[in-house]
Structure 1
Amino acid sequence: MTLEPEPARRQLAGKVASLIGTAESMQLAVPGLTIYRHAAPTEAYSSTYQPSIALVAQGRKQVDLGQSRFVYDESHFLLTSLDLPVTSRVIQASAGRPYLCVRLAFDMAMVRELLAQGGLPAARGQPGALAMTLGQTTAPLLDAFGRLLDLQQAPGDIAFLGELLAREIIYRVLQSADGARLRAIATLGEHGQRTAAVVDWIRQHYARPLRLDELAGMAAMGQSTLHRHFRALTSMTPLQYQKQLRLHGARRLMLTEGWDASSAAFEVGYESASQFNREYSRFFGRSPMRDVKALRRPEGG
């Protein structure tokens, strides 16, 4: 029997609503699986999206990555292939019809394993695109997510069936035109994969001074080539990417660890507290002190 997208979407929305109740986010027992609910549009919130797929069962959300904007809804999922600092907000939600979303974080080792097995159709689409893109939500994808949510009621099946369903979801993404970038990032030797390794290095060492010649050597590319591929993947230069990671890192220290602004600034690599305050206020829209006092919001899907 052929599945139709609309009934599958309604079923998924019902399952998310039943599980989450009135909470805004909930991490489920399946590894990497989180659901979200908002009963009204939200303010812009800055966070880092990890490699994942976010599927909206109801409502609409906007994500800004550098100068690029993505709006995903009941017909389109958001695919993220790298750790990317973004600003996002729910733009369509109400008490009667809340925003409902499910996000599955990718196990990149599983992605590479599926690619190594072969048998996938040839990749379509543009391989040089951003590491974030929109894809068409299909009934089989909605159904797979629904079955993944069902495991919350059968915890004994999660260890076996959870991995199988995650593999099915990744497979369906990889065989679509929108999965071309995920393929390139996961494939050894590709420019995308080598650039992704540099992105990952900066993410892990963002407090260190950045030297473009060292990064280019790491990627086995010329500096201008790396710069071009880095911007193509992230919509940012390496320095812009590092700065956003530093600001996110400092914000996390202040909000969750109780650090003062100056200590957090120096910890993430800033040498000037005044420069940190200026850049923080420009990026987040308010001073560190005001931001810490603001209502905390969960990282969204």
Structure 2
Amino acid sequence: MNANTSAESAARNGFCAPQAELADRIARSTADDGVHATAVPSLYLIRSSTPTPCKPTLYEPRLCIVAQGSKVAMLAGETYHYDPLNYLVVSVTLPMIGQITQASPEKPYLCLRLDIDPEEIAALILDAGPQAPSAGIDRGLYAARVNAPLLDAVLRLMRLLDTPADLPVLAPIALREIYYRVLVGDLGHRLCELAMADTRSHRIARAVELLRQRYLQPLSIDDLAQSVHMSISSLHHQFKAVTTMSPLQFQKQLRLHEARRLMLVDGIEAGAAAHKVGYESPSQFSREYKRLFGAPPRSEIVQIRSNARLA
């Protein structure tokens, strides 16, 4: 057995009991597959009894900790694995592809998701102090090793769900500790930089947020660069370093995801959804939709609804 295998075995043994408890608590709180809200507004529990196909998804800023099974997130050919030994942090909104790779009815995929509030991170940094800066600008997501203090803090938050009267006072304390454990972890500086004003990463995070707010409007790179106090060339270079896309490509994906939501949730026809998100040409919308989601709008939505009925 080599040193890496021994280290991983020791890590699994050390986390065995707490992870078993975390998996049990998530399983008891999720009677069926899907994403389940909890009494803590930013906390969601996810369950899946089967692996899933690759699916384009808009990831909001979040922390994902897996108790059982595994999943991958893919961004422009880069793959990030998260499982009971590795958690995922998404620090800016990113259109990605997600796939649950390990799940079964006997051992379903069980995951805890915390939606990240950048203001909470910024307030915590003021108290904890900034972490060591990175050498350059990084992707807006990363996977890092779970450690015992982080797992312990997550468990204490989950246990609070059994005592609702304690949640208003103790849940914010537990959440604060979880964020702190992430910030002082091996890659926490990357989340730190995105929350700290006047860093390059923070300016890109601001550009991402402005695109989200104005995705229906014609894109002016000049205005966007001025809004975040960057040159056009610097904005292009650093935006792509964080998101793997140009601002225009990013806006296009935001529009396509919103059109999909309008069709799936609100029942709007493809042509009307295309018009609502800023497409003047239905044929262009259909081509770009198929390129991203793998099928034309109408047939892809029909397939999703058919799968939901079968499930």
The TM-score with structure 1 as length reference comes to 0.93
Q: Which one of 66, 91, 99 corresponds to residue 76 of structure 2? A: 66
Match status 1:146 vs 2:155: yes
Partner of 1:105: 115
Q: Which one of 168, 189, 192 corresponds to residue 198 of structure 2? A: 189
Cα 1:35/1:201, change in 2 over 3 Å: same
Identity %: 39
Contact 2:33 2:49 in 1 (8 A): no
Aligned residues: 295
Name the amino acid aligned to 1:184: E
Find the aligned partners of 2:156 and 2:294 in 1 and give their Cα distance: 40
Partner of 2:56: 46
Contact 1:127 1:180 in 2 (8 A): no
Name the amino acid aligned to 2:73: V
Partner of 1:17: 27
* Runs of 4+ off more than 4 Å: 124-127
> Helix, strand or coil: the match of 2:161?
helix
Match status 1:243 vs 2:252: yes
> Helix, strand or coil: the match of 1:153?
coil
Find the aligned partners of 1:42 and 1:119 in 2 and give their Cα distance: 41
Deviation at 1:125, TM superposition (A): 4.8
Deviation at 1:212, TM superposition (A): 1.2
Find the aligned partners of 1:231 and 1:132 in 2 and give their Cα distance: 13
Gaps in structure 2 of 5+ consecutive residues: 1-12
Root mean square deviation, CA, Å: 1.7
Can you list the C-alpha shifts for 1:77-121, whole angstroms capped at 9, x where unaligned? 00000111111010111122111100011121110001112446x
Find the aligned partners of 2:118 and 2:230 in 1 and give their Cα distance: 23
Name the amino acid aligned to 1:90: I
Deviation at 1:124, TM superposition (A): 5.8
Name the amino acid aligned to 2:174: L
Deviation at 1:143, TM superposition (A): 1.7
Deviation at 1:248, TM superposition (A): 0.3
Contact 1:127 1:181 in 2 (8 A): no
> Helix, strand or coil: the match of 1:4?
helix
Can you list the C-alpha shifts for 1:10-66, whole angstroms capped at 9, x where unaligned? 111111111112332211111111111111111122221111100011111011123
Gaps in structure 1 of 5+ consecutive residues: none
Contact 2:137 2:200 in 1 (8 A): no
The TM-score with structure 2 as length reference comes to 0.91
Find the aligned partners of 1:41 and 1:256 in 2 and give their Cα distance: 23
